[in-house]
Amino acid sequence: MSADSTQNCNLWRECRFEGIQSQFALQEYLQELVRIDRSNVERLICAPDGQDEEIWQFEHLRLLCLDLNYLVIQLEPECNKESCPEMKADEWLYLCAAHIQPQACCAIDYAFHTLDGATSLLNSNKYFPSRMSIMPTSLKHFQSIARRLYRIFAHAWYHHREVFDSFEVRRVCPIRRCNYTAHWVLLTMCKRVLERGVFV
């Protein structure tokens, strides 16, 4: 297949959310938005009208895991046990939670373990038995997953900047994720303030 034909593979008309007749409509719509313009962060972070914001967050985290696999693959040739024996971002050292007791891992192992753990958790029937609603007790996992995945970006930013920049230009994933997380945290804080009736 020629380069021209692969570039044209994704060129079909935009599909409106209302036109998606599927059990996984939010996942498909998010992927559609990314296909059309992954740099339009404002559009990406806004859930379709009338749709559950928590499911939208869930689908973003699932897509983020997929996107991050591409970054880790690009990091692998230069991020190894010799070059990055610990998972660091600037001077911060992170311990890997994939072990019985959190322990130090080389950065690339930390990235693999974190992605495996996040993917397993997001596909767990115990914590996420339905893609149509999120159990209130499972919401606590969102921040933990986002925080750990963010560390992979931070490591790439501080220690493999050329790889990070190349990845960002092609996928616009770090920008999208950071903006989405900021939007999500702000909404969560506002919701808590309103629920408690406390204004600061």
Q: How far, in Å, CA of 23 to CA of 111, rounded? A: 31
Q: Tell the residue number behind the tokens 């997001």, with chain if given.
A: 122
Would you say 160 is a known binding-site residue?
A: yes
Backbone dihedral angles phi then psi of residue 100, each to the nearest 5 degrees: -55, -45
Angle between helices 53-75 and 140-159 (to 10 degrees): 30
What stretch of H or E contains 93? Answer: strand 92-94
Q: How far, in Å, CA of 23 to CA of 82, rounded? A: 46
**Spatial CA neighbour of 49 closest among 22, 26, 33:** 26
> Cβ neighbours of residue 43 under 8 Å, at least 6 residues apart?
33, 37
Sign of CA dihedral 128, 134, 139, 145: positive
Would you say 60 is a known binding-site residue?
A: no
Would you say 15 is a known binding-site residue?
A: no
Would you say 84 is a known binding-site residue?
A: yes
Residue 140 corresponds to which amino acid?
K
Annotated binding site: 79, 84, 155, 160
Annotated binding site for Zn(2+): 79, 84, 155, 160
